[in-house]
Structure 1
Amino acid sequence: MSVSDPIADMLLRMRNAQKAGLQEVEMPGSRLKGEIARVFKQEGYIAGFMLAGDPKRVLLLTLKYAADGEPVIRGVSRISKPGLRRFAGYQDIPRVLNGLGTAVVSTSNGVMTGKEARQRKLGGEVICTIW
């Protein structure tokens, strides 16, 4: 079965796996999903990730939990969807929870955080927010 929004599917699998208390979650992979996972790891939302397999790419995310067992990710939201793409200039990139969360932006220089895009003065497609 094909998925109409693979990025939303990735975010939902992450959220559901954390609610179930799983350590790892496996999903179909792509280059864009790998870049989003890199940003999540860089910002400390996941413990690690691995993009493997040549004919059928697989993305394996290692989820991160606090010392008391609470998930590190409190919430995640898809902003730009296949039916309605959301682009923003560098001044209009949303600040998530006054800087406590992260916006993930796809720019001409690759996928990066909203903060990084504002510093480099790059606009782009706002993929999702995570907090």
Structure 2
Amino acid sequence: MGLPAIANLCSHLQNASKARLGLTSAPHTKYNLKVVLALQKAGFLSFVTRGTLSTYEPEPLTTANIARQRLWVGLKYSDNAPVLRKMQAISTPKRPITMKLPDLERVARGWDTNGRVNVRGLNMGECLFVSTSKGVLEVREAIERKMGGLVLCRAGP
């Protein structure tokens, strides 16, 4: 599992947005790629592309250059304020948190969960990303598809 990579990605993107960077890079892993594409789909990022450490021009992926591959991410700003202000990893390597559909519905409505997992409800503008069998989905999309899964992170303005 790539949960340590997700925690690093969350803190890196939060720090990059606080530093008001327009462009940043992250290691190219499967989980990082799925999460940044879900963030872009949710409207937190302007673009995502693959490149090397020295350039963000895409090049063919081969076994010789796979270790140098990076994900270049464009951060969005609105009225000189970052769109992505906070991003927090929910699951950790020692404690992966999986949720079924009723718990996800509860969190999406803004209520805290009951039981063995303690996840706060979503506030206005926040998104929760869940790893399902269909990929990384935002919680509302996972509820529409009636799927539960591993809760990765939450992002918000």
Give the TM-score, by structure 1 length. 0.90
> Would you say the 8 A contact 2:5–2:31 is kept in 1?
no
Instruction: State the match for 1:29 in structure 2.
Output: 28
1:44-98 superposed Cα distances (whole Å, 9 cap, x missing partner): 00111113354222111100000x210001211111110100000012122221x
Instruction: State the match for 2:39 in structure 1.
Output: 40
Identity %: 28
Give the TM-score, by structure 2 length. 0.76
Instruction: State the match for 1:65 in structure 2.
Output: 77
How far, CA to CA, are the matches of 2:49 and 2:10 in structure 1?
16
Q: In the alignment, residue 8 of structure 1 is paired with which amino acid?
A: A
Give the C-alpha shift of residue 43 in structure 1.
Answer: 0.7
> Would you say the 8 A contact 1:34–1:51 is kept in 2?
no
Unaligned runs of 5+ in 1: none
Task: Pick one of 99, 115, 122 that aligns with 2:140.
Answer: 115
Runs of 4+ in 1 over 6 A off after TM superposition: none
Q: Which has the larger radius of gyration?
A: 2
1:96-122 superposed Cα distances (whole Å, 9 cap, x missing partner): 21x521110000111111001111110
Q: In the alignment, residue 52 of structure 1 is paired with which amino acid?
A: G
1:5-40 superposed Cα distances (whole Å, 9 cap, x missing partner): 111111111111111111011121112111111110
Instruction: State the match for 2:92 in structure 1.
Output: 81
| DSSP-derived class of the 2:7 partner | helix
Q: In the alignment, residue 37 of structure 1 is paired with which amino acid?
A: V
How far, CA to CA, are the matches of 1:4 and 1:86 in structure 2?
11
Instruction: State the match for 1:126 in structure 2.
Output: 151
Task: Tell me the number of residue pairs that the alignment of Structure 1 and Structure 2 aligns.
Answer: 127
How far, CA to CA, are the matches of 2:135 and 2:50 in structure 1?
17
Unaligned runs of 5+ in 2: 53-60, 109-121
| DSSP-derived class of the 1:91 partner | helix
For the aligned residue pairs, the C-alpha RMSD in angstroms reads 1.7
